[in-house]
Amino acid sequence: MSTNFPTSLDTFAVLVDNTDSIVAAHPNDRGDSVEALEAKVGINSSAVGTSHDYLLEHLPTQAANWDAGPYEVRAETFESDVATGTAPMTVASTTVVTNLNANTVNGKSAPSGTIVGTTDSQTLTNKTLTSPAINTGTLTSPVINTGVSGTAILDQDDMSDDSNTKLATQQSIKAYVDAVMSSVYPVGSVYTNAAVATNPETLLGFTSTWVAIEGECVVGLVAGGTFDTLGTVSEGEETHVLTVAELAAHTHTYNIGTDSAGGVGGYGVDEENTSVTTGSTGSDTAHNNIQPSYVCYVWRRTA
């Protein structure tokens, strides 16, 4: 009998009114088809390497080398093995099967480059992490374009925890620096700078209000003295012309003598009750009244 696998099953001759006779060729053709089908499908535990039974029986042992997943392998990957009657799907544990249907891996297109395993130790380059949760491990030169969160991020304005395992947020760092700068320069503080005229609010970087002090010296407070009230401004002059009252108390000595005409000192007056005016000197020019000074920009914080 023939063992060629048929492309269609034979049929009996058409019977007309049950008068046609069945001949030997009819069951012989049927028997040929059954034998060909048996060879193709195979009996249980078939040793025929091309039979379906043999292929299916050996499929699990080969699939054990694959990662679990809904992979669909195209039929052409079996062709060479089937043609030679050897076991198909002989895949080494380190071999990646590349002939996959692009739409069968969780509905995603076939990835390019190295496939990342969830438990593998691999180096990733140029990857975008969306809402990452990083508990351990090392990121080399990461680029994070969106906000990050988690227990490793601490938004604490006063930095009271002093942790060496948490990252501070930008807002908490700014709030902490502003608080420190405000405590260093509280309202009423005086700031000096001998280099730039920039307002301290801009220069020091925290919210505050400053007014410039111009042409006035800063004097330390003396309790019970002239300078005993903080924030007061005393009047003063860069130059000053002394008044008579401001002169030091003093006298002038004048010698009076009698001349030959009987007058006093040649002025023709009596000695008694005599008033004498001496010659005048000086120019009433204002004198320098400035203490030794070092000029710089001075600001006072008002708010």
Question: Where would I find the beta strands (DSSP E) of the chain?
Answer: 153-154, 167-168, 190-193, 210-213, 239-240, 287-288, 297-301
Do residues 164 and 224 both lie within one domain?
no
- Mean pLDDT by runs of 10 across the 303 residues of the chain is 57 59 69 78 81 78 47 44 48 46 54 71 76 73 77 89 90 93 94 95 94 90 87 85 88 64 51 67 86 92 95
Same domain (yes/no): 196, 222: yes
For residue 103, the model assigns a pLDDT of 46
Residues 220 and 236 in one domain: yes
Domain that residue 222 falls in: 187-264+294-303
Q: What is the pLDDT of residue 176?
A: 93
Q: In the Cβ-directed half-sphere of 44, how many Cα atoms lie within 13 Å?
A: 0
Query: In the listed set 128, 162, 182, which residue is the last one of a domain according to the structure?
Result: 182
Distance (Å, whole) CA 205 – CA 258: 85
Backbone angles phi, psi at 153, to 5 degrees: -100, 125
pLDDT given for residue 14 in this prediction:
59
Torsion of CA 186, 187, 190, 192, to 10 degrees: 70
Q: Residue 148 has what pLDDT?
A: 77
Residues 165 and 204 in one domain: no
Domain check: are 220 and 157 in the same one? no
For position 143, what pLDDT does the model report? 75
The radius of gyration of the chain's CA atoms, rounded to the nearest angstrom, is: 56
Model pLDDT, residue 202 = 95
In a domain, 213, yes or no: yes
243 and 219 in one domain? yes
Phi, then psi, of 73 in degrees rounded to 5: -95, 130
Helix runs in the chain, H state only:
25-41, 52-63, 79-84, 170-184, 200-204
Domain match, 166 and 237 both: no
Number of folded domains that form the chain: 2
Same domain, 164 and 212: no
- Asked if the structure places residue 230 within a domain, the reply is yes
Is 84 contained in some domain? no
Query: What's the CA gap between 196 and 179, in Å, rounded?
Result: 24
Domain assignment of residue 121, yes or no: no
Sign of the dihedral defined by the CA atoms of residues 254, 258, 263, 266, in that order: negative
Looking at the fold, whether 219 and 301 belong to one and the same domain comes out as yes
pTM of whole model > 0.85? no
User: Is residue 62 included in any domain, yes or no?
Assistant: no
Q: Based on the domain organization, do 193 and 168 belong to the same domain?
A: no
Residue 167 lies inside a defined structural domain of this protein:
yes
- Under 8 Å between Cβ of 192 and 297: yes
Instruction: Give the separation between CA 188 and CA 301, rounded to whole angstroms.
Output: 5
Give the residue from 182, 200, 229 where a domain finishes: 182
Specify whether 298 is located in the same domain as 236: yes
Residue 181, both tokens = 């700068």
β-partners of residue 220 are none
Last residue of a domain, one of 164, 182, 200: 182
Say yes or no: 232 and 166 in one domain: no
Instruction: Evaluate whether residue 37 is within a structural domain.
Output: no
146 within domain boundaries = no
**Rounded to an integer, what distance in angstroms lies between the CA atom of residue 196 and that of residue 187?**
21
The pLDDT assigned to 22 comes to 65
pLDDT at res. 237: 85
